[in-house]
Structure 1
Amino acid sequence: MLNQFSTGMRSSPLIDSFGRAITYVRVSVTDRCDLRCVYCMAEEMTFLPRRELLTIEELDRLCSAFIGMGTRKIRITGGEPLVRRDIMGLFRSLSQHLEAGTLHEMTLTTNGSQLARFADELASCGVRRINVSLDTLDPDRFKAITRRGDLDRVLSGIDAAQRAGLSVKINVVALKGVNEDEFEPMVHWAHARGMGITFIEVMPLGEIETTRIDQYLPLTKVRAHLARHFSLQETDYRTGGPARYVRIGETGGLIGFITPLTHNFCETCNRVRVTCTGKLYMCLGHEDAADLRTPLRASEGNDLLNATVRDAIARKPKGHDFVIDRTDRKPAVPRHMSVTGG
């Protein structure tokens, strides 16, 4: 049974000042992660006190409010979302919106380390597609990139997800001088298992030990490299996110490209991000945010919360200003990706 904040009584949809309908919300449930990927986090991270995080019940209510304002897709992110205690309670509750038809899709981005434990339950909650972040198939390189990860554990998690009937897409961050030699074999590996694969440019979020210019590999170069090995066929396939896809003639599988730097995708942006503390970021590349935790806790009703969301959507910028070059070595925004949500 849907709770009192259900989408049974729907309000007008969220439209920003550029006429874009905001129908996709990415919700971070924790800033914590069991890995420390070199492009995402500093090795010694200070995580938020748990008391600052929204409770599972508050996350459920917040998601339900967005669904009431026209959200059709929710992606649960982190940090690593599956390390959040009682996280499956949120999936179980949100699954009621899927059953009611008011939410069209609930998805998950994960590093795969906990998938073997949760894959079956995710599928039973109505999750049909997941993204797994995996930048290499070499065990030593995987440990170096993640600083502590176990590749076999992730691969076992992917096995479990596919056995549970989940559609898996692999997300690969292109790292200059690190995993360039693996792009072609990773495409073969993913497509042989019936999985899509998406390449992502490094994003300048948060201070890390190295500089992003030393990691940054433009996807124009990745695509040119792949075009020497595969026939790339343009397609209008979309999943509702920022990736643009080509189909590979030799395998029949899809390759996606997420290019926030070489070719931004802001003109069709339909999404916003909510952090685990209830901050609403209208754009990944800007610091402007709205506090949703205060109105959420100020009243049992959603009028104040909904008004805060609508005011924030009206401030959504036309696009981000990501730049990576040697003249400005600071990140575009100081917060880490794990704080905003992947």
Structure 2
Amino acid sequence: MARYGFVTSLIDPFGRKIEYLRLSVTDRCDLRCFYCMPEGFKDFEEPAHWLTFDEIERVVGVMQEMGLARVRITGGEPLVRKDVDQLARRLKQGAGIADLSLSTNATRLARHARALREGGVDRLNISLDTLRPERFKDITQGRLDKVMDGILTAKAEGFAPIKINMVAMKGVNDDEIGDMLEFCVEHGFTLRLIETMPMGDTGRSATDHYLDLQAVKKQLAERFELLPTLDGSIDGGLIYGGGPARYMRVAGTQTHIGFITPISQHFCETCNRVRLSVDGTLYMCLGQEHNYPLRDLLRRGIPDDELKEALIAAIALKPERHEFREQPTKIVRFMSMTGG
């Protein structure tokens, strides 16, 4: 790790600067997307094991001193946890995070959007795999009308950009990707297409529906004129964030479409993020098991300098890349247990 006087930087063994934290505040969800969480699953983390808001603010604040710039609040479904808007305010004002976003399925967003906006959430990522109510029910066991109400309420509250995350699946929703892009053009949203990943048994079952987004991009180009950005990605700071999507713009609009391709074209060489699960485990890679437990250290009352040393030791464990292709059965935890 690089040291400059009393300041430490979160730089991994491969020279990547870690400046982005995906922060899970719960592993629970009010939907059951078949590729994420098994039907009837109840093996959730006990609330007593969840990091408290005080503990979360402390970890994020220390990481901010070490170079952390962006935090995305995730779950499970983060709005299942009470007072997430208050946590957002604490991360923004107390921990000093300039770029604060939240991932949600939008089922509860209509009644929380204003409080989240006032709490300091800059941007929203909303999971939406289909625009068809019956298909939505088949994928999630939920109701599309509640999600659409949440999305449009968030738009009215002034969130921008709103990113729609669509897991593209062969034989499930591949026939409406173009329609989803039209929906995003109509409302000024950003569309992000995501390849399925072999996370747990549910994720591996979804690989039967794996869709190579390189082929999808070619198909969309027959219907839309897609213009490349300067380097194939967007790093617009507070506007677009620092995630892995490679973006293009729909000609004649300000709508962008991003392609997240962990399988067909991995982006490990530029990975700038780690994940903190609700139980305080820091995961270095979505597709590897390298992790570092922080909860017991926090509850033992270690001082900030020791917490920094623990974070340095954790980042030193970050692997060079995932092995989704080489070892698709390696990851046994579900996506909801790690955080999005």
Is the contact between residue 244 and residue 257 of structure 1 (CA under 8 Å) also seen in structure 2? yes
Match of 1:62 in 2: 59
Match of 2:124 in 1: 130
Matched, 1:29 2:25: yes
Give the letter for the 1:157 counterpart: G
How far 1:179 moved relative to its partner? 0.4
Gaps of 5+ in 2: 1-5, 236-240
Give the counterpart of 1:47 among 15, 20, 44. 44
Q: Sort the Cα spacing of 1:181 and 1:341 in 2 relative to 1 into closer, same or farther, 3 A.
A: same
SS at match of 1:207: helix
Match of 1:157 in 2: 150
Q: Distance in 2 between matches of 1:67 and 1:32?
A: 27
Identity percentage of aligned residues: 48
Matched, 1:95 2:92: yes
Match of 1:322 in 2: 324
Gaps of 5+ in 1: 1-9
Give the counterpart of 2:208 among 214, 229, 238. 214
How far 1:180 moved relative to its partner? 0.8
Give the letter for the 1:201 counterpart: E
Match of 2:190 in 1: 196
Match of 2:179 in 1: 185
Q: How many residues align?
A: 326
TM-score, normalising length from structure 2? 0.92
Matched, 1:341 2:339: yes
TM-score, normalising length from structure 1? 0.91
How far 1:81 moved relative to its partner? 0.3
- Superposition map of 1:228-307 within 5 A: 228-235=222-229, 236=231, 237-238=234-235, 239-299=241-301, 301-307=303-309
Is the contact between residue 42 and residue 209 of structure 1 (CA under 8 Å) also seen in structure 2? no
SS at match of 1:208: helix
Match of 1:38 in 2: 34
Give the letter for the 1:67 counterpart: Q
Q: Distance in 2 between matches of 1:159 and 1:241?
A: 24
Give the letter for the 2:11 counterpart: I
How far 1:199 moved relative to its partner? 0.1
Match of 1:139 in 2: 133
Matched, 1:19 2:22: no
Question: Which whole-Å deviations, capped at 9, do the CAs of 1:160-191 have from their partners, x for residues lacking one?
Answer: 11111112110000011010111111101111
How far 1:20 moved relative to its partner? 1.0
Question: Which whole-Å deviations, capped at 9, do the CAs of 1:27-59 have from their partners, x for residues lacking one?
Answer: 000000000001111112121221111112211
Question: Which whole-Å deviations, capped at 9, do the CAs of 1:261-308 have from their partners, x for residues lacking one?
Answer: 000001111110000000011111100100111111111522222211
Match of 1:4 in 2: none
Give the letter for the 1:60 counterpart: E
How far 1:103 moved relative to its partner? 2.2
Give the letter for the 2:221 counterpart: A
Q: Distance in 2 between matches of 1:49 and 1:80?
A: 16
Q: Distance in 2 between matches of 1:72 and 1:142?
A: 35
